[in-house]
Amino acid sequence: MKTKKIISLFLSTLLVLSLAGCGNTSAGAAKGEAVSGSLVLYTSEPEELVSELIAAFNREYPDVAIELFRSGTGKVTAKMDAELATGSTMANLIWFADIGYMKNLDEQGMLVHYKAPNAAGIDPSYVYGDGFGTEVRLIYNVIAYNTAEVSAAPADWQDVTKEEYRGSFAIADPNYSGGSFTALVTHVQYPDAVGWKWYEDIMANECRFEQSNGALMTKVSSGEYKAAEIVDFQIRAAKAEGSPVDLVYPASGAVLVPTPLCIMNNVPEDSLEAAKAFVNWCLSDTAQEMLAAQQYIPVGNVAGPEGAPKASEIRVLPFDLDYFTRESAGIRETYTERFGGTEG
């Protein structure tokens, strides 16, 4: 009798919750292409964004079913590694911030090389290798700062090594964040702008660490950190919501964090065209505009987010896949040796 009460309590909670969010059904009629198939996408991109993209894609390609798994980059690769240890992974499409992992997959012949027709108009450096992966939007590691805590906005990487930022400048821990590790490699590649020296300086300035960009953002907004090296789109989003934060693309160059979209070669024969269609579609103006609306710098030729520079206007420390492949292991070792030890 009393268990009934518990159950009814549960059920009523369920009911309230299910009333709270009624999904909107998409009117699916569109171009009516003859592409069909079913795919699984593993990604570290925000789930809402990817779900919206898939829904928009399905308006044009109603017969392509894309299932989604989203988690942090490290967890996605761990899941793939575990799956691969049993023989094969469920993922057909992958999209996350670990180009080293993707390059490694490519070397084992596990990625489909594909040059999307829509990629013809974009900077060729955004198509990696021989087409094993394509950037569909751009994210940069930049300097974000709390406008209430900082009197003069920093302009370049060197500025955060000043005394003002002692103990209040933070980066994502390269040991945990794939994006931050990519940034480390690129930083080291350009010793004139950043280099090891910069890491020495920020460490000497009591640099703080977080495991993810999310935590960095929360704490820059709250003023716990005056500034941080962080991805640009999140800061733009927070700024748009009114948080006291702003970002600068450093004068000597922002760091492009590669997050390509790749097709795995385990994609079923009859779904290969669907996978290619999705990659190509992500480069379409429709998709690019949706991405821009989410504060990403588009890779295509549509208007970017409000107040953001165009990709071509941003001074970057160019990402070099060959350098990355060649040097990343050594750089990790050096980093761990010099700065990476645990403390406490």
Of 77 and 280, which has the nearer Cβ to another protein? 77
Please spell the DSSP secondary structure of 41-60, one letter per residue: EEE-S-HHHHHHHHHHHHHH
Nearest approach, Cβ of 206 to another protein (angstroms)? 9
3-state per-residue secondary structure call for 124-143? HHHEECCCCEECCEECEEEE
CB 118 → another protein: shortest distance, Å?
26
Q: Which residues contact 15 (CB under 8 A, 6 or more apart)?
A: none
Nearer to another protein, 118 or 186 (CB): 186
At CB < 8 A and 24+ separation, what contacts does 6-13 make? Answer: none
Using the minimum distance from each CB to another protein, give the nearer residue, 105 or 254. Answer: 105
Closer residue to another protein in complex, CB, 76/283 = 76
Q: Could you tell me which residues come within 8 angstroms of residue 117 by beta carbon, excluding any fewer than 6 positions away?
A: 280
CA dihedral (258, 265, 113, 282) positive or negative? negative
Cα 213 from Cα 204, distance rounded (Å): 22
CA distances (Å), origin 51, targets 40, 178, 267, 331: 12, 23, 20, 36
- Hey, what are 85's tokens? 């240890």
In angstroms, the CA 124 to CA 194 distance is 25
State in angstroms the smallest separation of the CB of 178 from another protein. Answer: 8
| Identity of the residue, 211 or 286, whose beta carbon is nearer to another protein in the bound complex | 211
Q: To the nearest whole angstrom, how small is the minimum distance from the Cβ of residue 38 to another protein?
A: 11
- Decide whether 77 or 118 has the Cβ nearer to another protein: 77
Cβ proximity to another protein: between 163 and 192 the closer is 163
Closest CB 31 distance from another protein, rounded Å: 24
Please report how close the Cβ of residue 81 comes to another protein at its closest, in angstroms: 5
Whether 37 contacts 263, CB under 8 Å: no
CA 20 to chain centroid, in Å, comes to: 30
Look up residue 14 and give its two tokens.
């369920």
Least separation in angstroms between residue 223's CB and another protein is: 5
